[in-house]
Amino acid sequence: MDPDEKEAFIDELRDSFRLFPNSKIVVQNFEQGPPIEAPVAIRIFGENLDSLRTVAGDVENLIAATPGAIYVTNPLKTQKTDLAVRINKEKAAALGVPVAEIDRTVRMGIAGLDLGVFRDDQGEEYTMLLTLPKQSATPDLGVFDRLYVNNLAGTAIPVRQVADVELETAANTIRHYNKERYVTITALVQSGYLTGDINAELQQKLQDFKFPGGFNYVVAGEVESQQESFSGIGLIILITIFGLIGVLILEFKTFKSTLIVLSVIPLGIIGAILMLLLTGNTLSFTAVVGLIALAGIEVKNSILLVDFTNQLREQGKGLDEAIQEAGEIRFVPIVLTSLTAIGGLIPLVLEYSPLYSPLALVLIGGLISSTLLSRLVTPVLYKLLPPSLEGERV
């Protein structure tokens, strides 16, 4: 299915399921890449559970009021109801009722006691469960009015006399992150909106929001995933740059030739960024990987031109003549090499994937701009900084 058709189909399903009463049906597009809680996620930290629930509700309202955010989820919004049996230990001890016996009796009335397994003549096994007669499909609080527990003298004591039965609310889950209690408010992104824009708007709102003392927040989701992905990319870029410089110096033995060759890299970055803007993509991790790969491809083409110009000069031709002849002879092979690479990347663009397509778009845009602009920039730089074929050795 075409990506546009799939997006339209998802929007149609969301509209159809939006009005179902007493239910929340989430229609989510399949996402590739590192696993994340949701594209938009705000992690709130705080030890007081009641205050944490209040703050989580306020942040939920902030996210819900942000254009493009849908299916906002707050785990603390809905609480579970627990049945609490509070035993009066002093009274139980005075009446001679063991606490363990009270626990066993309550479990018998609610869930039943497992007495063992019965095997019939045919070898079929049946679990024997001891419980009170069921008056309905599920037990109710009235079962405690019919429960009695024996004391040490064998006298039956009503459970209600030694224990109080209460219903109390509690959080569904209590999560900890680095030993701190937290809750994560998540949301999906509506079609036609960028996750980066929504996260940027939310961060601005959260900066103006006054959190209680001892509370703080972290922007998770795609923002956190990008930070983790890009955390080591700086070192990789430095290694790539120094590696290219080292190889070029070994190849040409001059700094000027190295500078001329490397000048083509910014030309490709211009086209790559423009391609991302035109297609509505962000500078994701895979796009940055594409920029690193693009640098290697651009440098290869530039090496062909500069090295051939040096060869022509060594053969005795003048500077201007060598620049002109090298540009004419090497331009067609460079263009054909770039077109071949672009042709191989087109299927990745047509079969759109949020993970791989930005990488292909970066390479295509960079190859187009570097191939065209280097036809002008590289000869001009070679003219302004003609490398000495004998000197300037490292």
**SS3 track for 30-59:** CCCCCCCCCCEEEEEECCCHHHHHHHHHHH
Asked: is 31-78+173-224 a CATH 1.10.10.10 domain? The reply is no
Cα torsion 106, 110, 111, 117 to 10°: value is 70
- Is pLDDT at 223 greater than 90 in this prediction? no
pLDDT band at residue 330, thresholds of 50, 70 and 90? confident
Average pLDDT over residues 174-197: 85
pLDDT band at residue 367, thresholds of 50, 70 and 90? very high
pTM of the entire predicted model: 0.61
Nearest to 56 by CA among 178, 165, 140, 182: 182
Within 280-356, where are the H helices?
A: 285-314, 319-350
pLDDT at position 272 is 92
CB atoms within 10 A of CB 351: 12
pLDDT band at residue 143, thresholds of 50, 70 and 90? confident
Asked: is 232-384 a CATH 3.40.50.300 domain? The reply is no
For 20, 80, 178, the CA distances from 171, given in Å and listed in that order, are: 26, 6, 20
- Is pLDDT at 290 greater than 50 in this prediction? yes
* 237 compared with 69, residue with greater pLDDT: 69
Q: Say how far apart CA 277 and CA 267 lie, in whole Å.
A: 16
Domain boundaries for CATH 3.30.70.1440 within the chain: 31-78+173-224
Domain boundaries for CATH 3.30.2090.10 within the chain: 80-170
Q: Which helix (H) or strand (E) holds 3?
A: helix 3-17
CATH number for the domain running over 80-170: 3.30.2090.10
CB atoms within 10 A of CB 323: 21
Domain boundaries for CATH 1.20.1640.10 within the chain: 232-384
pLDDT at position 392 is 37
Average pLDDT over residues 212-224: 87
- Is pLDDT at 6 greater than 80 in this prediction? no
